[in-house]
Amino acid sequence: MKLSGKVAIVTGAASGIGAAIAARFRQEGAVVVGADIACAPSAEFRRIDVSVEEDWVSLIEDVLGAHGRIDVLVNAAGVSLAGDTLEACSPETLRRTISVNLDGTFLGCRHVIAPMRRQGSGSIVNIGSILGRVADGAAVAYVASKGGVGMLTKSAALHLARTARGVRCNQISPGYVATPMVENWLADLPDGQARGRELVAAHPLGRLGRPDEIAAAALFLASDESRAVTGADFLIDGGYTAH
């Protein structure tokens, strides 16, 4: 088991990629606290809005109180809202997308650093997107938010390398993955079915990714196996950005 004795926080853990990561980490021996805006609170789940700083402060206090340490933070909470083309995108759509995808990731990084620095170890994994690397023309706020996550990750990695040796920050950029987020987004489009076929064709491997394939990469980056990797962006995209 690659995460024995480690304590992990996974945001967006109620569905999709976050749920797969939380499940895989538990299989590998970690204590996982899932955090999501849409979940019933339980021993394994906390309800937080990642864009609200107070929610982060109390989450981290509680996890430290219950488990004494935080070894891994995965920022997987994300939204892709309807009406996200440049001309349709309202200021509210832009702000909500940025606040969850980018502010939420920023706040998570910001607040988990202090306990990780005290421990002298820790791994932050941010879920970016291929759309942080190549644009799409139909998701302006989402693309901007994920572009921001890409450079936030690198900036955090350099800051940590200089000021908190042993604490790392990396990113995974998935291709389109078969999750409720992608399925709902397609369902909202007038030409959703055709778009879905185009998406599959845009991945040279000829299919969308599976949440467990992103979870496998998150496991590698969370574990000590990757201790020399920081500031990196692992593309798990079926070849989407290779051409």
Partner 1 sequence: MSFAGSVALVTGGGSGIGLACCRRFAAQGATVIAADLKKPPPELEASAWVELDVTDPGRWRDVIDGIRAEHGRLDALVNSAGLLAEGTVEDTSLDLWRRIMAVNLEGTFFGCQAVLPLMRESGSGSIVNLSSVSGIKADAELAAYDASKGAVRMLTKEVALFCARRGDRIRCNSVHPGVVDTPMVRNIFKDAALASERQWDESQPIGRRIEAEEAASLIVWLCSPEASFATGAEFVIDGGATA
Point out the residues that are catalytic: 142
Q: Does 29 bind partner 1 (CB under 8 A)?
A: no
Closer residue to partner 1 (CB): 138 or 229: 229
Contact assessment for residue 125 and residue 171, using Cβ atoms and an 8 Å cutoff: yes
Q: Does 51 bind partner 1 (CB under 8 A)?
A: no
**Least separation in angstroms between CB 184 and partner 1:** 21
As a dihedral over the C-alpha atoms of residue 196, residue 202, residue 205, residue 207, rounded to 10 degrees, the angle is -10
Q: Does 238 bind partner 1 (CB under 8 A)?
A: yes
d(CA 97, CA 119): 33
Closer residue to partner 1 (CB): 85 or 241: 241
Which x/- pattern, by CB under 8 A, does the window 128-157 give for partner 1? --------------------------xx-x
Kindly determine how many residues on this chain lie close enough to bind partner 1 according to the rule CB under 8 A. Answer: 38
Q: Which of 175, 179, 182, 222 binds partner 1 (CB under 8 A)?
A: 175
**Least separation in angstroms between CB 235 and partner 1:** 4
Interface with partner 1 in residues 193-232 (CB under 8 A) = 204-206, 209-210, 213-214, 216-217, 219-220, 225-232
Alpha carbon separation from 155 to 78, 88, 109, 135, 168 (Å, rounded): 20, 31, 11, 22, 11
d(CA 100, CA 144): 12
**Least separation in angstroms between CB 116 and partner 1:** 15
Closer residue to partner 1 (CB): 59 or 76: 76
Crossing angle (nearest 10°) for helices 192-202 and 180-188: 130
Give the 3-state DSSP-derived string for 151-183, with helices as H, strands as E and coil as C. Answer: HHHHHHHHHHHHHCCCEEEEEEEECCECCHHHH
3-state secondary structure of 45: strand
Q: Does 65 bind partner 1 (CB under 8 A)?
A: no
3-state secondary structure of 37: coil
The residue ranges that bind partner 1 (CB under 8 A) are 154-155, 157-158, 161-162, 165, 174-175, 204-206, 209-210, 213-214, 216-217, 219-220, 225-239, 241-243
